[in-house]
Amino acid sequence: MRKLLISSMLKKAYNDTSNIIKDMENIISQKKIQYGDKDSDFPRPYISLLQSQLKEMGFVHPYTPGVFDEFTEEAIADIEGEAGLPITGTLNYYVMKYMMKKLSVNNSSTRRERLKNKNSEKIELDENLSNIKTLSNKVDLNNLTNETKEYLKILNHIAKEDGEIITITSAARDPIDQARIMLNNFKSNDKYEGGGRKYIINLYGKKAAPIADIYAENKTDSEKIEEAANIINIIGLSPHLDGKSLDIDVDDNKSIILNILKKTQEYATVNILDEDSHIHLTIKSLNPGGTFKVFHNR
């Protein structure tokens, strides 16, 4: 009975903390939590939880309990510096996401490190995937998830039956690759109404707005890519980073390629997004299903 009681108490404490974190995320999406704020300013003890998390991350200071004091501000500024974010000393969405990532046991290394260190079986295209080719040797198929690799075999089988060759233009990416591709998209769409910023936000969502703002600044491309990669490393943005997505070239055979891709949904849950110049796939599982959408930016 005592063990059950303790287990129940621990579960309740975990759920309470999870709920507070979710509430904090909602609050931060509307306003920053900053110097001078107190637990009593919010419906839950956000500052106390923040200070507890800071200590867990190694930022041990004589905090004033439940008050966003100078030590809390200093710790947040240190975290912003560590994450490559602008130094403000305030708790915003990106700082919170970075902290949650650092505190997660399963995400102790960066996405770039995880992609490089994955022990995954190398795919020999010539031997196993005769009807699939890559646009260049820079297309990374080796760091795809196992499910995505299995999907490639399904895709190859159907393409072979239909007598077609599928060309993959992009697969697994790291944050630098993602930032570079997004910058190219920003530039190529800047001539249209709303410009590259509209394109980036329409495709990736509102959380990509700070990245679009970076691309609009008067800086070198390398500076823009580095700053954007820091944010991407924290919030993700694309399933390419997790090895779950493929970009497919359509050339002049879009209807034929789309037909093949839709056939694969009989064997795997694949979300198909027609982005005009190419088709973006996100592989969800090896069960039948998936969606089809057309991306409209203009």
Q: How do the pLDDT tens digits run along the chain, 298 residues long?
A: 444 443 444 344 444 556 666 677 777 767 789 999 999 998 888 899 999 989 888 888 899 999 999 999 999 999 988 888 888 999 988 888 888 888 774 344 444 454 444 444 444 444 578 999 999 988 999 999 999 999 999 999 999 989 999 999 999 999 999 999 999 989 988 777 778 899 899 888 888 999 999 999 999 999 999 999 999 988 888 889 999 999 999 987 889 999 999 999 999 999 999 988 899 999 999 988 889 998 866 5
Q: What's the structural domain count of the chain?
A: 3
Residue 115 located in a structural domain: no
Instruction: State residue 19's pLDDT score.
Output: 66
Q: Would you state the torsion angle of the CA atoms of residues 193, 250, 116, 155, taken in this order, to the nearest 10 degrees?
A: 140
Closest by CA to 170, choosing from 96, 64, 259, 245, is 245
Measured between its terminal Cα atoms, the distance across the chain in Å is 63
Residue 114 located in a structural domain: no
Given a contact cutoff of 8 angstroms between Cβ atoms, the answer to whether 248 and 168 are in contact is yes
Domain endpoint, select from 55, 76, 107 = 107
C-alpha to C-alpha distance for 26 and 255, rounded to whole angstroms: 42
- Domain membership of residue 55 as a residue range: 2-107
Domain endpoint, select from 79, 107, 135 = 107
Instruction: State residue 106's pLDDT score.
Output: 39
Residue 77 located in a structural domain: yes
